[in-house]
Chain A
Amino acid sequence: MDMQVPMSDESTAQLKLRRKARKRRDLKKSLPLYILLLPSAVLLLIFAYIPLYGLVMAFQNYSPALGVFHSPWVGFDNFMQFFRSYQFPITLRNTLVISLYSLAVNTPLPVALAIMTNQIRKAGFKKSFQVISYLPHFISTMVMCGMILIFLSPQSGLVANIFRLFGAKLPDLMSSSSAFAHVYVWSDVWQNIGWNSIIYIAALSGIDPTFYEAATMDGATAWQKIRNIDIPMIMPTVMILLIMSVGNLLNVGFEKVLLLQNPLNLGGSEIISTYVYKIGLQNFQYSLSTAIGLFNTVINVILLLGVNWLSKKTTDTSLF
Chain B
Amino acid sequence: MALAIPHKVKPKKVKLSGKDLAFQIFIYAFAILMILAIIYPLWFIIIASFSNPAEVANGQVWLWPSHLDFKGYQALFKQPIIWRSYGNTVLYTVIGTAFGLAVNIPAGYALSRKDLVGRKWINVLYVIPMFISGGLVPIYLTVKGVGLLNSFWVMIIPFAVSPYNIIVARTFFQSSIPESLWEAAQLDGAGTFKYFFSMVLPLSKAILAVLGLWTAVGIWNQWFNALIYLQNENLQPLQLILRRILISNQQVAGNTTGQLAAELQQLSDMMKYASIVISTLPIMMVYPFLQKYFNQGVMLGSVKG
Least distance between A145 CB and chain B CB atoms (Å)? 6
Least distance between A25 CB and chain B CB atoms (Å)? 10
A233 within 8 A of B: no
Contacts of B221 in A (CB 8 A): 140-142
Contacts of B163 in A (CB 8 A): 44
Most buried by A among B6, B135, B142, B299: B135
B284 within 8 A of A: yes
Contacts of A39 in B (CB 8 A): 102-103, 106-107
**Contact with B31, one of A55, A123, A129, A131 (Cβ below 8 angstroms):** A129
**Contact with B24, one of A48, A51, A121, A194 (Cβ below 8 angstroms):** A121
Most buried by A among B11, B221, B245: B221
With contacts A50-B142, A198-B298 taken as known, whether A206 is within 8 angstroms of B135 at the C-beta atoms is: no
B161 touches A48 (CB 8 A): yes
A167-201 interface code vs B (CB 8 A; 1 in, 0 out): 00000000000000000000000100011001100
A147 touches B45 (CB 8 A): yes
Least distance between B76 CB and chain A CB atoms (Å)? 13
Q: Which residue of B lies closest to A296 (CB)?
A: B135
Contacts of B304 in A (CB 8 A): 240, 319
Contacts of B23 in A (CB 8 A): 119, 221-223
Least distance between A69 CB and chain B CB atoms (Å)? 13
CA distance A48 to B128 in the complex (A): 9
Contacts of A49 in B (CB 8 A): 129
CA distance A267 to B138 in the complex (A): 28
CA distance A235 to B234 in the complex (A): 50
CA distance A116 to B160 in the complex (A): 38
A32 within 8 A of B: yes
Segment 202-253 of A: residues with Cβ below 8 Å from B: 202, 205-206, 209, 213, 216, 221-223, 237, 240, 247
A12 within 8 A of B: no
B276 touches A143 (CB 8 A): yes
B141 touches A54 (CB 8 A): yes
A54 touches B131 (CB 8 A): no
B38 within 8 A of A: yes
Q: Classify the secondary structure of B's interface with A.
A: helix
For the complex, count residues of A whose C-beta is within 8 A of B.
Answer: 96
B35 touches A132 (CB 8 A): yes
B145-180 interface code vs A (CB 8 A; 1 in, 0 out): 010000000000111110100100000000000000
**Contact with A297, one of B103, B104, B135 (Cβ below 8 angstroms):** B135
Least distance between B229 CB and chain A CB atoms (Å)? 10
B70 within 8 A of A: no
For the complex, count residues of B whose C-beta is within 8 A of A.
Answer: 101
B115 within 8 A of A: yes
**10 nearest A-B pairs in the assembled complex, by CB-CB distance:** A51-B134, A54-B138, A146-B246, A161-B59, A293-B135, A140-B221, A156-B57, A32-B192, A36-B106, A51-B138
Other A-B contacts than A120-B28, A209-B9, 16 sampled, CB-CB below 8 A, are A33-B116, A40-B106, A44-B129, A46-B142, A55-B138, A138-B283, A138-B284, A138-B287, A140-B223, A141-B223, A147-B276, A190-B37, A199-B298, A206-B6, A254-B224, A281-B228
Q: Give me 30 A-to-B residue pairs in the complex whose CB atoms sit less than 8 angstroms apart, sorted by A's number.
A: A27-B117, A30-B115, A33-B113, A36-B109, A36-B192, A40-B104, A43-B160, A44-B163, A51-B142, A53-B138, A54-B137, A54-B138, A55-B138, A132-B35, A134-B291, A134-B294, A140-B220, A141-B221, A142-B246, A146-B245, A146-B272, A156-B58, A158-B41, A165-B59, A221-B20, A237-B302, A280-B137, A286-B137, A289-B135, A304-B131
B contact residues vs A (CB 8 Å cutoff): 5-6, 8-9, 11-12, 14, 17, 19-20, 23-24, 27-28, 30-31, 34-35, 37-39, 41-42, 44-45, 56-59, 102-104, 106-107, 109-111, 113, 115-118, 122, 125-126, 129, 131-143, 146, 157-161, 163, 166, 191-193, 196, 217, 220-221, 223-224, 228, 239, 242-243, 245-247, 269, 272-273, 275-276, 279-280, 283-284, 287-288, 291, 294-295, 298-299, 302, 304
